[in-house]
Structure 1
Amino acid sequence: MEERMEVKVSTILDLAQFLGTSELTVSVPAKATVMNVLEAVRELTGRDVREKIIAPETGDLKSFIRVFVEGRDVRFLQGLATPVNPGDTVLILPPAAGG
């Protein structure tokens, strides 16, 4: 049986509304990446958050989306291929407008 681990996913605003929650815990393979976490969110919620945050033309994060693993921006790590560890928190931040 494949070894698995749990990772926490948090988000706010429109993405929380889209997913129906601002926080959830997903089970992913032991050597998972941010992309694996996003796939697990889809499996758990039935909602594909990837369509909201990944640019189809590049396969990378949309420029206005920020994703953090344990407080570190994945843009400065390995992007969607950034590894996650057991108990990590993946924070997905959509753009926020206001004044």
Structure 2
Amino acid sequence: MVSVRFYSLLRLMLGREVVELPWEAGETVRSLVQRAEQAVGSPLSRKLLDGDGVLHTGTIILVNRRNIHHLEGLETPIRDGDTVALFPPGAGG
């Protein structure tokens, strides 16, 4: 199993904190985001990625508390038992 945790506005938008998905061999962060989107029935990827599939500036995705910017980005492999945290871009003033 893989735990996908939602934070900030994602949590409010989805009305849930976590979704548990069965692990799939060869899974990456990119494919996991797509599966999580299907599981929650919401356009999750539009909140995290632009039209070219690149992370919006300010989006943070952690795999086991490690930022994917310091790993392999959206192609970071996912393993059984991983926890993935999704933080949408924040707004400030």
Please classify the TM superposition score into its range, dividing by the shorter chain length. Answer: 0.7 to 0.9
TM-score normalised over the length of structure 1 = 0.82
**Structure 1 residue runs without a partner (length 5+):** 1-5
Aligned partner of 1:74: which letter? I
Which structure is higher in RCO with an 8 Å CA cutoff and minimum separation 6? 2
- What is the CA distance between 1:50 and its match in structure 2? 0.5
- What is the CA distance between 1:85 and its match in structure 2? 0.5
Q: C-alpha distance in 1, partners of 2:32/2:64?
A: 14
Give the CA RMSD over aligned residues: 1.8
8 Å contact kept, 2:3–2:84? yes
**Structure 2 residue runs without a partner (length 5+):** none
Instruction: State the structure with more CA Rg.
Output: 1
Pair 1:69 & 2:80 matched: no
Q: 2:28 maps to what in 1? A: 33
As a proportion of its length, which structure holds more strand? Answer: 1
SS of the equivalent of 2:22 reads strand
Q: How many residues align?
A: 93
Ranges of 4+ aligned residues in structure 1 off by more than 3 Å: 95-98
% same residue: 29
Q: C-alpha distance in 2, partners of 1:23/1:89?
A: 10
| Residue 87 (structure 2) aligned to one of 78, 87, 93 | 93
